[in-house]
Amino acid sequence: MLSPFMDPAGRRISYLRLSVTDRCDMRCLYCMSESMTFLPRDDVLDYDELLRLARVFVRQGVRRLRITGGEPLVRKDIGDFLLALRPLLGQAGEPTRLDEITLTTNGSRLVEFAGLLVRAGVRRVNVSLDSLDPARFAQVTRRGRLAATLDGIYAAREAGLAVRINTVAMAGVNDDEFDALLAWCGEIGADLCLIETMPMGETGDSRIARYLPLSDVRADLARRWTLEDIPDRTGGPARYVRVGETGQRLGFITPMSHNFCSTCNRVRLSCTGRLYTCLGQEDGADLRELLRAGADDAAVAQAIDQAIGRKSARHDFMLEPTSGRVAGPARHMSVTGG
């Protein structure tokens, strides 16, 4: 019998990414299709159900909680939910308490929510930003406004939140902007994390055409920047270097070119209550069905343990530019939770 939250590969699961909505005010090329059909409201867990599941996960051993979407800050009354999570935080290492609550956002509503996030105990946020050019930003997001996201980032920094900028590296789209992004992040005191595109769901844009191995990107950046390997980890899959010229960190998330599955410590809970034990696999558990059938917390915890006991050793993403082969889940990233 496996220990609670220990998977078959001996990895302890301590990190939950909890999606509160599949909806978003943008339609980024790598995440969603232009004309998305969103879930019916009744399919989405209410805040009481989400809070109950968060508590079960924490009691079972989760120590890091990231709130995701879609865009989490577009959900009605999200502020009340975030404040309700605050009591789950405790001192670092304290049993049955979270070490941290974080959030991933596109930044469009951070001006409104930055102060509340601090009151809810959030200390750092990841903000998706794929271009500093207004026209290109609009092209990638299909409807976003760069000014709104930048204002949100500045509001977050002013409120005292640590910010990491997440940039999906896309050949032929933003591959000429990485130097500018590094310099700008240095100016505002933010880390930058580059992410390889992943084949998840049909978005109307070619993943093969956009795929850019980050090993090539790093080698190119090292010609102009001093990149020092460091052991820093923030709970997720990013591998970091220190940028000598700015003092900030540069992260690389490489699901395609440099598999990081051996150190995976996370699972995802969709806004429908579907537990995904691997981003690139379909196996998991339907926790909503249990909740709405009247199951107690012990039964829910058992279902979570059983799902983690089946967690795959690695994902099955595939992008082969030479052969054109692409493999990945049919669901969109926005449905899974980022």
Binding site, annotated residues for [4Fe-4S] cluster = 24, 28, 31, 261, 264, 278
Are the C-beta atoms of residues 113 and 120 closer than 8 Å to each other? no
Q: What is the largest CA-CA distance in the chain?
A: 59
Q: How far apart are CA 52 and CA 46, in angstroms?
A: 10
In the block, which residue shows the tokens 């090993």?
Answer: 215
> Which pair of structure tokens corresponds to residue 302?
């058992």
How many of the other CB atoms lie within 10 Å of CB of 10?
A: 9
Question: Beta 64-68 vs 100-105: how paired, if at all?
Answer: parallel
User: How far is the CA of 2 from the CAs of 8, 112, 161, 302, in angstroms?
Assistant: 8, 44, 38, 12
Task: Enumerate the known binding-site residues.
Answer: 17, 24, 28, 30-31, 66, 70, 104, 128, 198, 261, 264, 266-268, 278
Instruction: Evaluate whether 137 touches 128 at the Cβ level (below 8 Å).
Output: no
- Please state the residue numbers annotated as binding site for GTP: 17, 66, 104, 266-268
- Binding site for S-adenosyl-L-methionine, by residue number, is 30, 70, 128, 198
Query: What φ, ψ does residue 327 adopt, rounded to 5°?
Result: -145, 135
Alpha-carbon dihedral sign for residues 302, 270, 288, 120 = positive
